[in-house]
């Protein structure tokens, strides 16, 4: 099997849904999400049909055991053999929205889907760790979540794998002139635990792989059995720097399952918080870029702007990192509109002064140009999202999807910022453009009216998909709830999960050691979001 | 590069003694709870334990045990038992003794 090349012209969403339904059966359609049941024998042609469409991206893949181990029974394995495999496809062309295929896998194998859609590889590894089912053909699967020192003792969501996942530790002498340079997981101050396996011939990056499992906290496992109100505080801590986006996606999944929507003013409040989250993250990424390029005064200037933006968050929502704003059904706090209108222009002006000066600094710009290059083809093949994808020219943005997890972006559309060169400089330009756009959106949403309001989310045995655009790209959340409204399975897919897949490709593109911190800063991802 | 040298000189030192002045928004920020022993019944203690999303609250030997090191200051206990809980307003929790972060609050009418 080889990766599918997208056809020249794509099918419309309806055509794709009909094509998939022809292989199985249409199960449900609501709020921009179509669910199609595909029998196991048709999973491979169905994946070909979706992956072969330009404008269709594999956004996530996850499994659900039909009877999973309860949180109380830590260490126990699931009783049932059936596992449901779900693929979430984002349709971004004519009519943005999501298509979910669900397939019951009876035995331990399913078709090697990452051979068709390479974006599926990380999820294939994760599903093997958590549910013990794997792609047919025996391809090597990496360790993603479960630390080797805890081995099989760590609780999983379903059946344990028959064999532990492969330890992808390369030999320290790789061959020829190349050798492995181990770096991490403890790195410089303030950076998350992450292990780089750098394969190098001395200066050039020949290959790079990552271990991200040091921060695994079993969030999806811990969410089971909780009500959505209990669960949301854990969900938003999956990736603290995307607390609003993750919380919004999670709340929207519960709302979709219950068939309710937040009040319009609450949805606008969410959007204000989401854009403030984007602003401070882009300021932090700017500071990190300065640090990576050794520009300490520039770093200080960006960090002053960052600190002012965090204080704006505190003055507006009562939390510097905007935790606790999102609730299922609405929001718990209204923004202090007066403080926001008063403080935001000054804080953003501070950032603008720093970035204007940075753009006039040749030694800074030179380090960013032609560094960590990704093409649109790579971004599309790997399902990349957020500024990383937009910097290659792809207009991928979850805020464009219908309902947009609430609707404020239908009311006030977002101008999507893209660039073409796919390098660090393009990502920086996209972030700067988005920061300006976020300030505009915040003011427009405030003008539309905001409030601390919640609609009741009645308990109902159902499932739902939610999404939001975090500063590092699309966040997806899928929940299955029982009749008491308690979580039986929650899937959280922060943007970091997608974009770490592109990081090693970007580092290999004719870069040297000292480019890697610059590339990492421009991706502005978290290990926590990946290892959750 | 001279641009940045001059820029740095012009801006001067921005780090100060901590804290140079209280942050105006600090009073609105979430802080860990303080418990009123005179109002803390077993029913309220159990209610707060059930809503705590982390392992910060537990009950043993007639006491509510509060681990400030495990508290995220989410405020759910205060919502569940407003009479028995007030925010401490305290941010400075750093200590070299982990046990110093664990408090025992007597529950009304319980034998110890």
Any domain includes A209: no
- For an interface test with A, which of B4, B10, B18 has the most A Cβ atoms less than 10 Å from its Cβ? B4
Provide the chain A residues 355-384 that lie in CB contact (below 8 A) with chain B. Answer: 357, 360-361, 363
Give me the number of domains chain A comprises. 2
Q: Are residues A149 and A225 in the same domain?
A: no
Any CB–CB contact under 8 A between B13 and chain A?
no
Q: Given A119, A134, A153, which residue is the final one in a domain?
A: A153
Alpha-helix runs per DSSP H in A161-295: 219-223, 228-235, 243-258, 264-292
Q: Please tell me whether residue A386 adopts helix, strand or coil conformation.
A: helix
Q: Given A153, A168, A194, which residue is the final one in a domain?
A: A153
Q: What is the pLDDT of residue A21?
A: 81
HEC string of A116-165 equals CCHHHHHHHHHHHHHHCCEECCCCCCECCCCCCCCHHHCCCCCCCCCCCC
Q: Percentage of chain A surpassing pLDDT 90?
A: 58
The whole-angstrom distance between A117's CA and the closest CA on chain B is 38
Q: Are residues A305 and A429 in the same domain?
A: yes
Q: A361 and B24 in contact by Cβ < 8 A? A: no
Q: A357 and B7 in contact by Cβ < 8 A? A: yes
Cross-chain CB nearest to B25 (options A300, A301, A315)? A315
Q: Are residues A55 and A147 in the same domain?
A: yes
Distances (CA, A) of A330 to A31, A459, A489: 17, 16, 22
Q: Are residues A130 and A239 in the same domain?
A: no
- The answer to whether A335 touches A448, Cβ cutoff 8 Å, is no
Any domain includes A205: no
Mean pLDDT for all residues in chain A: 87
Q: Are residues A342 and A468 in the same domain?
A: yes
Q: What is the pLDDT of residue A70?
A: 42
Q: Are residues A312 and A453 in the same domain?
A: yes
The whole-angstrom distance between B29's CA and the closest CA on chain A is 5
Lowest mean pLDDT among A136-145, A303-312, A411-420: A136-145
Q: A318 and B1 in contact by Cβ < 8 A? A: no
- The answer to whether A183 touches A195, Cβ cutoff 8 Å, is yes
Q: Are residues A224 and A101 in the same domain?
A: no
Any domain includes A194: no
Structural tokens at position A454: 């919640």
Q: How many beta carbons lie within 10 A of that of residue A28, not counting itself?
A: 12
- Model confidence at A74, pLDDT cuts 50, 70, 90, reads very low
Mean pLDDT for all residues in chain B: 86
Q: How many beta carbons lie within 10 A of that of residue B14, not counting itself?
A: 12
- DSSP code at position A72: G
The whole-angstrom distance between B13's CA and the closest CA on chain A is 10
Domain extent, residue A108, equals 13-153
Residues on chain B touching A324 (C-beta within 8 angstroms): 30, 74-75
Which segment, A142-156, A214-228, A339-353, is predicted with the most confidence on average?
A339-353
- The answer to whether A531 touches A210, Cβ cutoff 8 Å, is no
ipTM of the complex: 0.77
Q: What is the pLDDT of residue A274?
A: 97
Q: Which residues contact A3 (CB under 8 A, 6 or more apart)?
A: A51, A115, A116, A117, A118, A381
Lowest mean pLDDT among A200-204, A227-231, B12-16: B12-16
Lowest mean pLDDT among A142-156, A207-221, A378-392, B73-87: A142-156
CA distance A486 to A493: 20
Strand pairing report for A97-105 and A33-37: parallel
Element (H, E) at A91: strand A83-91
Mean pLDDT of A154-167: 72
Q: B28 and A323 in contact by Cβ < 8 A? A: no
Nearest CA in chain B to A362: B1
CA distance B49 to B57: 5
Q: Identify the CATH number of the domain in which residue A84 sits.
A: 3.30.460.80
Q: A295 and B4 in contact by Cβ < 8 A? A: yes
CA distance A248 to A327: 8
Q: What is the pLDDT of residue A407?
A: 84
The model's pTM: 0.89
3-state helix, strand, coil split of chain A in percent (to 5) is 45, 20, 35
- The answer to whether A17 touches A99, Cβ cutoff 8 Å, is yes
Any domain includes A331: yes
Lowest mean pLDDT among A51-60, A63-72, A473-482, A492-501: A63-72
Provide the chain B residues 53-82 that lie in CB contact (below 8 A) with chain A. Answer: 53, 72, 74-76
Mean pLDDT of A204-210: 83
Query: Which is higher by pLDDT, A283 or B111?
Result: A283
Structural tokens at position A426: 């393009």
Tell me: pLDDT of A216 over 90: no
CA distance A81 to A489: 16
- Model confidence at A127, pLDDT cuts 50, 70, 90, reads very high
Can you spell out the DSSP letters for B18-87?
Answer: SPSS--TTGGGS---EEE-GGG--HHHHHHHHHH-SSS-EEEETTEEEEEGGG-----HHHHH-TTTEEE
Q: What is the pLDDT of residue A230?
A: 86
Q: Given A134, A153, A172, which residue is the final one in a domain?
A: A153
The whole-angstrom distance between B11's CA and the closest CA on chain A is 9
Lowest mean pLDDT among A8-12, A323-327, A390-394, B62-66: A8-12
Q: A301 and B7 in contact by Cβ < 8 A? A: yes
| Domains contained in chain B, CATH given | 30-112 (3.30.70.3270)
Q: What is the pLDDT of residue A72?
A: 38
Mean pLDDT of A58-85: 64
CA distance A258 to A261: 9
Sign of the dihedral through C-alpha A374, A375, A378, A381: positive
Mean pLDDT of A202-213: 83
Any domain includes A189: no
Q: Identify the CATH number of the domain in which residue A496 sits.
A: 1.10.645.10
Q: Are residues A237 and A136 in the same domain?
A: no
Q: What is the pLDDT of residue A4?
A: 55
Structural tokens at position A218: 């079993």
**pLDDT tens digits, B23-52:** 777 777 888 999 998 899 999 999 999 988
Any CB–CB contact under 8 A between A217 and chain B?
no
First and final C-alpha spacing in chain B: 69
Lowest mean pLDDT among A186-190, A376-380, A451-455: A186-190
- The answer to whether A44 touches A36, Cβ cutoff 8 Å, is no
- Model confidence at A78, pLDDT cuts 50, 70, 90, reads very low
Structural tokens at position A176: 């020829």
Mean pLDDT of A439-459: 94
Q: What is the pLDDT of residue A168?
A: 55
The whole-angstrom distance between B52's CA and the closest CA on chain A is 8
Q: Are residues A242 and A139 in the same domain?
A: no
Tell me: pLDDT of A414 over 70: yes
Residues on chain A touching B1 (C-beta within 8 angstroms): 361, 363
Q: Are residues A237 and A320 in the same domain?
A: yes
Q: B28 and A324 in contact by Cβ < 8 A? A: no
Any domain includes A158: no
- Model confidence at A145, pLDDT cuts 50, 70, 90, reads confident
Tell me: pLDDT of A212 over 60: yes
Q: A363 and B14 in contact by Cβ < 8 A? A: no
Q: What is the pLDDT of residue A189?
A: 61
Any domain includes A162: no
Residues on chain B touching A295 (C-beta within 8 angstroms): 4
- For an interface test with A, which of B12, B51, B53 has the most A Cβ atoms less than 10 Å from its Cβ? B53
CA distance A48 to A116: 7
Any domain includes A173: no
Tell me: pLDDT of A125 over 70: yes
Query: Which is higher by pLDDT, A368 or A406?
Result: A368
Q: A318 and B25 in contact by Cβ < 8 A? A: yes
Residues on chain A touching B11 (C-beta within 8 angstroms): 297, 300-301
């Amino acid at each position: 099997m080889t990766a599918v090349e997208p056809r020249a012209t794509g099918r419309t969403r309806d055509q794709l849904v009909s094509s998939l339904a022809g292989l199985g059966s249409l199960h449900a359609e609501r709020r921009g999400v179509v669910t199609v049941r595909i029998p196991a024998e048709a999973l491979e042609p169905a994946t070909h049909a979706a992956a072969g469409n330009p404008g269709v991206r594999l956004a996530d893949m996850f499994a659900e055991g039909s009877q999973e181990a309860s949180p109380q029974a830590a260490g126990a394995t699931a009783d049932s053999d059936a596992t449901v495999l779900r693929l979430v496809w984002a349709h971004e062309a004519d009519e943005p929205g999501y298509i979910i295929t669900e397939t019951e896998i009876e035995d331990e194998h399913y078709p090697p889907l990452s051979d068709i859609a390479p974006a599926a590889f990380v999820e294939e590894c994760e599903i093997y760790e958590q549910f013990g089912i794997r792609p047919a053909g025996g391809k090597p699967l990496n360790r993603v979540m479960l630390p080797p020192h805890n081995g099989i003792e760590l609780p999983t969501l379903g059946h344990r794998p028959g064999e532990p996942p492969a330890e992808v530790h390369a030999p320290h002498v790789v061959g020829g002139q190349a050798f492995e340079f181990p770096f991490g997981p403890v790195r410089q101050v303030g950076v998350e635990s992450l292990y780089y396996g750098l394969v190098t011939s001395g200066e050039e990056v020949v290959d790079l792989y990552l271990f991200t499992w040091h921060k695994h906290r079993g969030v999806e496992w811990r969410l089971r059995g909780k009500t959505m109100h209990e669960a949301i505080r854990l969900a938003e801590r999956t990736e603290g720097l995307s607390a609003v986006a993750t919380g919004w996606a999670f709340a929207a999944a519960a709302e979709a399952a219950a068939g309710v929507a937040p009040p319009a003013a609450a949805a606008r409040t969410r959007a204000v918080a989401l854009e403030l989250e984007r602003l401070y993250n882009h300021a932090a990424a700017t500071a990190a870029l300065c640090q990576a390029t050794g520009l300490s005064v520039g770093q200080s200037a960006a960090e002053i702007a960052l600190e002012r933006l965090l204080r704006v968050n505190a003055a507006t929502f009562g939390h510097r990192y905007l935790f606790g704003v999102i609730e299922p059904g609405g929001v718990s706090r209204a923004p202090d509109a007066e403080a926001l209108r008063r403080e935001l222009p000054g804080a953003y002006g501070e950032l603008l002064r720093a970035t204007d000066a940075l753009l006039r600094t040749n030694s800074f710009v030179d380090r960013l140009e032609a560094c960590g290059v990704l093409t649109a083809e790579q971004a599309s093949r790997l399902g990349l999202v957020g500024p990383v994808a937009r910097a290659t020219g792809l207009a991928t943005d979850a805020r464009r999807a219908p309902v947009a997890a609430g609707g404020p972006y239908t009311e006030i559309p977002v101008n999507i910022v893209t660039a073409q060169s796919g390098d660090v400089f393009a990502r920086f330009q996209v972030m700067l453009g988005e920061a300006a756009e976020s300030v505009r959106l915040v003011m427009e949403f405030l003008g539309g009216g905001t409030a601390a309001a919640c609609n009741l989310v009645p308990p109902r045995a159902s499932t739902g998909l939610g999404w939001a655009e975090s500063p590092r790209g699309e966040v997806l959340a899928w929940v299955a709830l029982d009749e008491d409204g308690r979580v039986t399975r929650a899937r959280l897919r922060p943007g970091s999960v997608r974009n770490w897949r592109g990081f090693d490709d970007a580092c290999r593109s004719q870069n040297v050691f000292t480019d890697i911190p610059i590339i990492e800063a421009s991706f502005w991802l978290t290990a926590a979001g990946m290892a959750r | 590069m001279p641009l940045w040298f001059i820029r740095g000189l012009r801006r001067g030192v921005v780090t100060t003694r901590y804290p140079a002045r209280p942050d105006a928004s600090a009073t609105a920020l979430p802080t860990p709870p303080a418990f009123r022993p005179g109002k803390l019944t077993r029913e309220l203690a159990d209610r707060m334990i059930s809503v705590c999303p982390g392992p910060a609250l537990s009950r043993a030997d007639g006491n509510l045990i509060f681990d400030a090191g495990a508290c995220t200051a989410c405020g759910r206990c205060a919502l569940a038992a407003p009479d028995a809980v007030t925010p401490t307003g305290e941010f400075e929790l750093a200590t070299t003794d982990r046990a110093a972060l664990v408090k025992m609050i007597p529950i009304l009418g319980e034998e110890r």
